[in-house]
C-alpha cells in the first residue's frame, strides 16, 4: 500500500483513545509509576503547573483534570532517558545534525553542563563555574551590550524571567526576542489599541455563563485539551459554539470527556461546535466584518419597525470611540468583497450573526489561526469591534479571550520580558534598584535574526526554546547562529538549536517544572506562573532532578549575571537562594503584585486585575476603540487563486507534538500515522493537479526576494479544507516561511499564510 500512512480518524477527541495514548506514553517514558504519581500533582494547589498549555485551572473541583497532551508534556519531562556526556562523546555534532527533531529529543534529559569542542566536533562536560566565567567574560568583551540577543521561551517562571530581564537591563540592553513575537504578539498589540490592555478579559467562570462562544482559528482538541471540557459543559447546557476554522478539526466536532464516567462507559461523545464555518486562510477579518454588517442590517430593521435597538447603545455612548467611523467602514465594505475574501457565503455569515444577536453573553476566543497572518492586528481589532456592538466585554459571561500558548508566556511579558518596555516600568526599576536602565528599544525575534544575519549580533543566549527551528527561514537562521561569538542554551533536552555552535558554545541543563527545586540548605523553592485568564499561581515540582548536576533556571541566570555585571547592585546568589526575595522585587516594581508572597500561597493563587474587564480603558482616547480601517486589499489565498499551481499554506501542529518537540509521528485526530511530511489538500485540488493521495512533491515558497525555499518530498493527504488552502506541520515547513513576510505592527512571521507551489511530483511508489 502506498498510502498506508493515511488511516482512520478518531471518531471523537478525548475518550479511550486519549487514555490509551497516555498509558503508552507513560510506558515509553520508562517511569510508568512515578510518572502516574507525578500526573496527580499537575495543576494541583500543592503541585506544579502543567507545562502543557496556558489554559486556566478551575477555581473549584480539586480532583485531577485529565488531559492527554498534559500527560505527554509531563512524561516527556519526567522520562528516565538521559543525554549524558557519554552520549555526546559518542556522537559528533555533525552526526547529531542528521537526526530529526523527534530522534534528537528522544535521547532524553541533559545531565551536565557542556561546552563545544571544535577540534573533536563534540560537546564535552565542563564545570559550572568555568561556564559562567567564560560567558561573563565574552559578554563583557563585546563592543556594545546591544550586540547580544537574549531569547526567552514562554515556559520560564516569573521568577526566572524577572531575574533575566533585570540582569540583561543592568548589562545594558533591551534585546529580548521572545517566543511571543511568533505567537500572540498581534493579540497584545491589537488589544492594547482597542481596550488598553494586551490580555484577555475573561475568567474561566465566564465560560459557565456565556450563551455563545466563538472559537476562531484555534484547535483546542490538540493544543488546549482542557478547554474542551469547558466547551463541552457549555455545549451541554445549550450554549452555542460557533467555530471558524478552514480545517475540520475533530476536537471541535465531538469530544468524549475522560472525566465523565458515563460517557466513557457508553463510548458516547458530546458535539462541541453547533456551527462550523470554514473560511479560507486569512479570511477571518472579512468574516467578522460580514457579521457586523449583518448585525447593523438587523438593527436598522428593528429600529425601522419601531423596536428597541439590537445594539448596546448605552455601552456605545458611554464607553466607545469611533463607532460612527466603524459603521461607515463596514457600510463601505461590499458583500462581494466579504464573500471573496472570507471564502464564506453571505448566508453563512448571516447565520453566524444571528447566533451573536440571540446571545445575551458572548465570549470570543482565538489563537494562531488569527495571529499568524499579515493582517492579524486589524483582524483582532475587528473582532473587538464586533464584540463592542452589543457590549460583550467587561460583564459576566462575555469578553475577549486570546488563548495563550506556552504555560507562562503571558507571565514572562508581565514581569518584563519586553523589547519595548513601558517607560513606567523602567522608571520603577531605576527607582527601586538605583541604577539607570537602557531606554533604547531592543530587538524582537525578527530584529534579532536581522542582526545575526548582518553580523551586528555576536552573542545569543536562550532561556529555553528552540530558536533556530521555531523561527522562519530556519536554514538561514541556522547559518547565522554558527557565526556567533557565543551561543548559550539553557535547556532540558537537546534540540537542533544546540547543534549550530558558534565560536564558543554552551548547553546548560536546567531543572524542569516537575522537579524539586532545592536551595543549598535543602529548602524547596516555589515558582509562579500566569495563565491565559491572568491567574497567578504557585508551582513546585515533586520529582527528584533528572541529574544531580542540574541547576534551576534562576540559579543559572544568577551565575551568568554575577559573572557579567557583578554584585554591586544586586546580590544574585541571595536571590537564587530564596525566590521570595525575587518576588519582593517584583512586588516593588510591577503593579498588581501587592502581597505577592502571601497571595501566591493561597490554593489557587490570585487574579491580576484587568482594567478592561472593569470597563476602564487605558487607550489613547480613553475609550474602547473601534477599528476604522479597510479589509486588506487582498490575502494570500486571493492572490493564489489568480495563479496556476499556487496555494496558500498554513503550518500547524499535529496531535503528537509540542511546538518543535515531536512526541510521535501520528496525528490520530486527522488520521495520519507514522508520517509528518504531509500536505493536507482538498480532493478537487488534487484532481486538478492530476495527483493522488500519497504522491510526493517538493513544496516551493513563492516569495519575491530571490531566495530559493524548498521543502522536499511531502505527501498529499486529501482533506476537508477549502480549495486553494493547504496545511502541513511546523517545524518541518519552517524553511518555507520567508523572514520578510511579517504581520503589520506585530512583526509576527506569517506562518499561517505562505504562498507556495508544487514541483517535481512523483507518483506514490
Ligand atoms: N499539545 C500541544 N499543546 C500546545 C502546543 C503544542 O504544540 N502541542 N503549542 C502551544 C503553543 S506555543 C500555542 S501558541 C498554542 C497553539 O494553539 P493553536 O492556535 O490551536 O495551534 P495550531 O496548531 O497552530 O492551530 C491553529 C488552528 O487554526 C486554524 N487556522 C489556520 N489558519 C487559519 C485562518 O486563517 N483562519 C482560521 N479561522 N483558522 C485558521 C488551523 O486549521 C488550526 O486548527 O498551543 C499551545 N499548546
Ligand atoms: N511555522 C511555524 N512556526 C512557528 C509556529 C507555527 O505555528 N508555525 N508557532 C510559533 C509559536 S506559537 C511559538 S510559541 C514558537 C515556539 O518556540 P520555542 O518556545 O522556542 O520552542 P519550543 O519548541 O517550545 O522549545 C522546545 C525546547 O525547550 C526546551 N525546554 C523545555 N522545557 C524547558 C524548561 O522547563 N526550561 C528550559 N530552559 N527549557 C525547556 C527543550 O530543550 C525543548 O527542546 O514557535 C513559533 N514558530
Ligand atoms: Mo505559542
Q: Name the phi and psi angles at 133, rounded to 5.
A: -65, -45
Where b means 16+ CB within 10 Å and e means fewer, 208-237 reads ebbbbbbbbbbbbbbbbbbbbbbbbbbbee
Quick one: cell of 189? 498589540
pLDDT digits (tens, 9 = 90+) for 691-716: 999 999 999 999 999 999 999 999 99
Quick one: cell of 155? 515556559
Ligand nearest to the CA of 179: 2
In whole angstroms, give the CA distance from residue 257 to residue 395.
29
Element (H, E) at 486: strand 486-491
Q: Does 2.40.40.20 match the CATH number of domain 636-762?
A: yes
For a mutational test of ligand 2's pocket, the pick from 186, 466, 733, i.e. the residue with the most ligand atoms closer than 8 A to its C-beta, is 466
Same fold, 82-176+424-524+545-602 and 636-762: no
pLDDT digits (tens, 9 = 90+) for 525-540: 999 999 999 999 999 8
Q: Would you say residue 62 has pLDDT above 50?
A: no
| Protein residue closest via CA to atom 13 of ligand 1 | 405
CATH match for 82-176+424-524+545-602 among 3.90.1150.10, 3.40.50.300, 3.40.50.2000, 3.40.50.740: 3.40.50.740
Task: Enumerate the β-bridge partners of residue 398.
Answer: 395
Q: Would you say residue 78 has pLDDT above 90?
A: no
| Protein residue closest via CA to atom 37 of ligand 1 | 217
Ligand 2, residues at Cβ distance < 6 Å: 105, 153, 155, 179, 182-183, 368, 372, 405-406, 463-467, 470, 490-493, 495, 510, 512-513, 553, 651, 659-661, 730, 734, 737, 751
In whole angstroms, give the CA distance from residue 572 to residue 566.
8
pLDDT digits (tens, 9 = 90+) for 79-121: 899 999 999 999 999 999 999 999 999 999 999 999 999 999 9
Superfamily of domain 185-407: Dimethylsulfoxide Reductase, domain 2 (3.40.228.10)
Residue 653 in contact with ligand 1 by CB distance below 6 A: yes
The whole-number pLDDT of residue 47 equals 78
HEC readout, 382-451: HHHHHHHCCCCCCECCEEEEECCCCCCHHHHHHCCCCCCCCHHHHHHHHHHHCCCCCCCCCCCHHHHHHH
Residue 650 in contact with ligand 1 by CB distance below 6 A: yes
Q: Would you say residue 60 has pLDDT above 50?
A: no
- What is the CB-side half-sphere exposure of residue 532 using CA atoms within 13 A? 26
pLDDT digits (tens, 9 = 90+) for 479-508: 999 999 999 999 999 999 999 999 999 999
Judged by DSSP in three states, 536 sits in strand
Q: How far is the CA of 762 from the centre of ligand 3 (A)?
A: 35
Report percent pLDDT > 70 for the chain.
96
In whole angstroms, give the CA distance from residue 256 to residue 11.
9
For the chain, what percentages of helix, strand and coil (3-state, to nearest 5) are there? 40, 20, 45
Q: Where are the beta strands (DSSP E) in 195-312?
A: 212-216, 240-244, 254-256, 270-271, 275-277
Q: How far is the CA of 223 from the centre of ligand 1 (A)?
A: 7
Question: Where are the domains positioned within the chain?
Answer: 13-77, 82-176+424-524+545-602, 185-407, 636-762
Task: Enumerate the β-bridge partners of residue 755.
Answer: 648
Residue 218 in contact with ligand 1 by CB distance below 6 A: yes
Q: How far is the CA of 138 from the centre of ligand 1 (A)?
A: 39
Q: Name the phi and psi angles at 668, rounded to 5.
A: -55, -45
Residue 183 in contact with ligand 1 by CB distance below 6 A: yes
Amino acid at each position: 500500500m502506498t498510502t498506508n500512512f493515511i488511516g482512520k480518524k478518531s471518531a471523537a477527541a478525548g475518550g479511550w483513545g486519549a487514555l490509551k495514548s497516555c498509558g503508552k506514553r507513560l510506558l515509553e517514558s520508562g517511569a510508568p509509576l512515578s510518572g502516574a504519581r507525578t500526573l496527580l500533582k499537575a495543576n494541583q494547589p500543592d503541585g506544579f503547573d502543567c507545562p502543557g498549555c496556558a489554559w486556566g485551572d478551575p477555581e473549584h473541583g480539586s480532583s485531577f483534570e485529565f488531559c492527554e497532551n498534559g500527560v505527554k508534556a509531563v512524561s516527556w519531562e519526567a522520562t528516565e532517558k538521559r543525554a549524558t556526556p557519554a552520549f555526546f562523546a559518542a556522537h559528533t555534532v555533525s552526526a547529531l545534525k542528521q537526526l530529526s527533531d523527534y530522534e534528537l529529543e528522544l535521547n532524553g534529559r541533559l545531565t551536565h553542563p557542556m561546552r563545544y569542542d571544535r577540534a573533536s566536533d563534540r560537546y564535552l562536560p565542563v564545570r559550572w563555574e568555568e561556564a559562567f566565567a567564560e560567558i561573563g567574560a565574552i559578554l563583557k568583551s563585546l563592543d556594545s551590550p546591544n550586540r547580544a540577543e537574549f531569547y526567552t521561551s514562554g515556559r520560564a517562571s516569573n521568577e526566572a524571567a524577572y531575574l533575566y530581564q533585570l540582569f540583561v537591563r543592568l548589562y545594558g540592553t533591551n534585546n529580548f526576542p521572545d517566543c511571543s513575537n511568533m505567537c500572540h504578539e498581534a493579540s497584545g498589540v491589537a488589544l492594547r489599541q482597542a481596550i488598553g490592555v494586551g490580555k484577555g478579559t475573561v475568567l474561566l467562570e465566564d465560560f459557565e455563563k456565556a450563551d455563545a462562544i466563538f472559537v476562531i482559528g484555534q484547535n483546542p482538541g490538540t493544543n488546549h485539551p482542557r478547554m474542551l471540557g469547558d466547551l463541552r459543559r457549555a455545549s451541554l447546557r445549550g450554549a452555542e459554539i460557533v467555530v471558524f476554522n478552514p480545517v475540520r478539526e475533530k476536537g471541535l466536532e465531538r469530544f468524549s470527556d475522560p472525566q465523565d464516567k458515563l460517557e466513557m462507559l457508553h463510548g458516547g461523545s458530546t458535539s462541541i461546535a453547533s456551527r462550523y464555518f470554514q473560511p479560507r486562510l486569512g479570511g477571518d477579518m472579512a468574516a467578522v466584518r460580514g457579521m457586523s454588517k449583518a448585525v447593523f442590517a438587523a438593527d436598522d430593521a428593528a429600529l425601522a419597525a419601531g423596536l428597541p435597538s439590537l445594539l448596546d447603545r448605552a455601552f456605545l455612548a458611554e464607553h466607545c470611540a469611533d463607532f460612527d467611523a466603524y459603521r461607515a467602514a463596514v457600510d463601505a465594505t461590499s458583500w462581494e468583497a466579504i464573500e471573496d475574501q472570507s471564502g464564506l457565503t453571505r448566508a453563512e455569515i448571516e447565520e453566524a450573526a444571528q447566533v451573536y444577536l440571540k446571545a445575551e453573553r458572548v465570549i470570543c476566543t482565538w489563537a494562531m489561526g488569527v495571529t499568524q497572518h499579515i493582517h492579524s492586528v486589524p483582524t483582532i481589532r475587528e473582532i473587538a469591534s464586533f464584540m463592542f456592538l452589543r457590549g460583550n466585554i467587561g460583564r459576566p459571561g462575555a469578553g475577549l479571550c486570546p488563548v495563550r500558548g506556552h504555560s507562562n508566556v503571558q507571565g514572562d511579558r508581565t514581569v518584563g520580558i519586553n523589547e519595548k518596555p513601558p517607560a513606567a516600568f523602567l522608571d520603577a526599576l531605576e527607582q527601586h534598584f538605583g541604577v539607570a536602565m537602557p531606554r533604547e528599544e531592543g530587538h524582537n525575534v525578527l530584529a534579532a535574526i536581522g542582526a545575526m544575519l548582518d553580523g551586528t549580533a555576536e552573542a545569543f543566549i536562550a532561556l529555553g526554546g528552540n530558536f533556530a527551528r521555531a523561527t522562519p527561514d530556519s536554514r538561514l537562521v541556522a547559518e547565522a547562529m554558527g557565526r556567533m561569538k557565543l551561543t548559550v542554551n539553557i535547556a532540558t533536552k537537546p534540540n537542533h538549536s544546540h547543534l549550530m555552535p558558534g565560536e564558543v558554545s554552551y548547553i546548560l541543563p536546567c531543572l524542569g517544572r516537575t522537579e524539586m527545586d532545592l536551595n543549598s540548605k535543602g529548602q524547596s523553592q516555589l515558582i509562579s506562573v500566569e495563565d491565559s485568564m491572568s491567574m497567578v499561581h504557585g508551582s513546585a515540582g515533586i520529582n527528584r532532578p533528572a541529574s544531580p548536576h542540574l541547576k534551576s533556571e534562576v540559579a543559572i541566570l544568577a551565575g551568568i549575571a554575577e559573572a557579567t555585571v557583578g554584585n554591586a547592585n544586586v546580590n544574585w546568589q541571595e536571590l537564587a537562594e530564596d525566590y521570595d526575595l525575587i518576588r519582593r522585587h517584583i512586588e516593588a516594581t510591577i503593579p498588581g503584585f501587592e502581597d505577592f508572597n502571601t497571595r501566591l500561597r493561597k490554593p489557587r493563587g490570585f487574579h491580576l486585575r484587568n482594567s478592561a474587564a472593569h470597563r476602564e480603558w487605558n487607550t489613547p482616547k480613553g475609550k474602547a476603540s473601534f477599528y476604522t480601517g479597510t479589509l486588506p486589499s487582498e490575502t494570500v489565498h486571493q492572490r493564489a487563486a489568480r495563479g496556476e499551481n499556487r496555494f496558500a499554506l498554513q503550518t500547524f501542529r499535529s496531535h503528537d507534538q509540542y511546538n518543535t518537540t515531536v512526541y510521535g509521528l501520528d496525528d490520530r485526530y486527522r488520521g495520519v500515522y507514522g508520517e509528518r511530511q504531509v500536505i493536507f489538500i482538498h480532493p478537487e485540488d488534487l484532481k486538478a493537479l492530476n495527483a493522488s493521495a500519497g504522491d510526493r512533491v517538493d513544496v516551493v515558497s513563492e516569495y519575491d526576494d530571490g531566495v530559493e525555499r524548498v521543502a522536499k518530498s511531502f505527501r498529499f493527504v486529501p482533506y476537508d479544507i477549502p480549495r486553494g488552502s493547504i496545511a502541513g506541520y511546523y517545524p518541518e515547513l519552517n524553511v518555507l516561511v520567508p523572514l520578510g513576510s511579517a504581520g503589520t505592527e506585530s512583526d509576527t512571521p506569517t506562518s499561517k499564510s505562505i504562498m507556495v507551489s508544487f514541483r517535481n511530483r512523483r507518483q506514490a511508489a
